[in-house]
Amino acid sequence: MDQPYLLKQCRELLIDDFHSETRIGDLRFRLHSPQALPEEPTQPRGHYQTVIFADGLYRLYYRGQLPVPEATPQDGNPGEYTAYAESADGRTWRSPELWLFPGRPANAVWAGSMATHNFAPFLDERPGCPPEERFKALGGVQHGGGLYAFTSPDGIHWRSCAETPAMLPPKDKPWSFDSQNVAFWSAAEQCYVLYYRVFQPVQGKNLRAICKTTSDDFRHWQPGEFMAINRDGEHLYVSQMAPYCRAPQLYIGTPTRFFEDRGCATDISLCFSRAGGPLFRSFPGAWITPGPDPARWGNRSNYLARNIVPTGPTELSLYHAQSGRRYVMRPDGFVSLQGGLVGGEWTSRALTYGGGTLSFNVATSAGGSMAVELLDSDGRALPGATFAEHDLFYGDTLRYVPTWRGREELPLRPGDVFRMRCRLQEADLFSFAVE
């Protein structure tokens, strides 16, 4: 029998049956796609974008390109540079006049090395991180020697950490690093994590795929581990993995699927990892399709900027790197456990209560409902928290705190093992939390 899952003060998303013991009746997991907004003229276009939200400011990085002779090598060529834009609201953008690199546009924040091909910054949230290294980045290509490390105090003024690469290309994997390679500090794993691109032999065919490695100091990286999530014959061009802003123990990625035999058409999928475990795809098909715009059906026309960021109390935003479109979605709204017209009953796995208020992110129809019951470690309903005592819920809220005869106090003490049982009818349950 599995050990009870410690429910600390954190949020857990219902993206699969990880937290399930049983599902009975008209219940299924449902994928929700984000909504595309009209094109925003100020939103930058460019490959391998990263958006970082910190200190009330949205920072966006992308690859710019000056004209170069046709014979110039494509990856890391001298015309590439790393461009920067910022926004106060995540909706409209400005390109500041920095003039840091002669011969480059005013908003260039890095130039003069092959790292501009895929310069991928992140905000280092490691406790004790020196202020002058608050922002970090990796960039580089295989024929340029590998991935080089960079640091910055403000996300604008960057310096190279060393003349030598922080990570050499794997000798057995050609075209390593040839896209966006994304790193971050993981509070769950207590180390730096890097997901990078490789060409991996899978069932006799070289596929664009994803490897993972870790580091204690960001300068020295362990040998990589292949993440086996490619479907048969499927290319995954980027991973865009990052800790989810509302539940950092969950990593979420938006890999681009690449169909070489269909004119190099692309679309965007969705993948997850819990606390650094295996990558998995609850719904391995397309999450965001190209749509009716012919330009979105061209070669490599569909990438999302790395990071899903909050742009309001009830809104998350994602940025399409080539079209100038922003996508919006409900917080935690990737996948839901949905009760249909008849409804059904879900029982959670055994949980250890770590203290705090229990809440749910849930939406029902006008005729739908949700009811909650708590069970002890032996599966018996806890007095004071039974279905018979529950105040039936219907509505749409990111934070529903259940009550039983008007009381929200839980008949639990820290360390108690319990289960939740939920009845869902015409309802979508996205996540639960103790806080």
Mean pLDDT, to the nearest integer, of 125-148?
96
Mean pLDDT, to the nearest integer, of 173-195?
94
Residue 309 to residue 289: CA distance in whole angstroms: 21
Q: How many residues does the chain have?
A: 435
User: In the prediction, which pLDDT does 1 show?
Assistant: 47
Q: pLDDT (tens digit, 9 = 90+) per residue, 387-424?
A: 999 999 999 999 999 999 999 999 999 999 999 999 99
Q: pLDDT (tens digit, 9 = 90+) per residue, 14-71?
A: 999 999 999 999 999 999 999 999 999 999 999 999 999 999 999 999 999 999 888 7
Q: Which 8-state DSSP code applies to residue 3? A: P
Task: Kindly tell me if the per-residue pLDDT of 327 is higher than 80.
Answer: yes
Give how far the C-alpha of residue 165 lies from the chain's centroid of Cα atoms, to the nearest Å: 26
User: In the prediction, which pLDDT does 34 show?
Assistant: 98
Percent of the chain with pLDDT over 70: 100
pTM for the model:
0.96
Across the chain, mean pLDDT equals 95
* Full DSSP string of 18-86: GGEEEEEEEEEEEE-PPEEPPP-TTS---SS-EEEEETTEEEEEEEEE----TTS-STT-TTEEEEEEE
DSSP H or E stretch at residue 24: strand 20-31
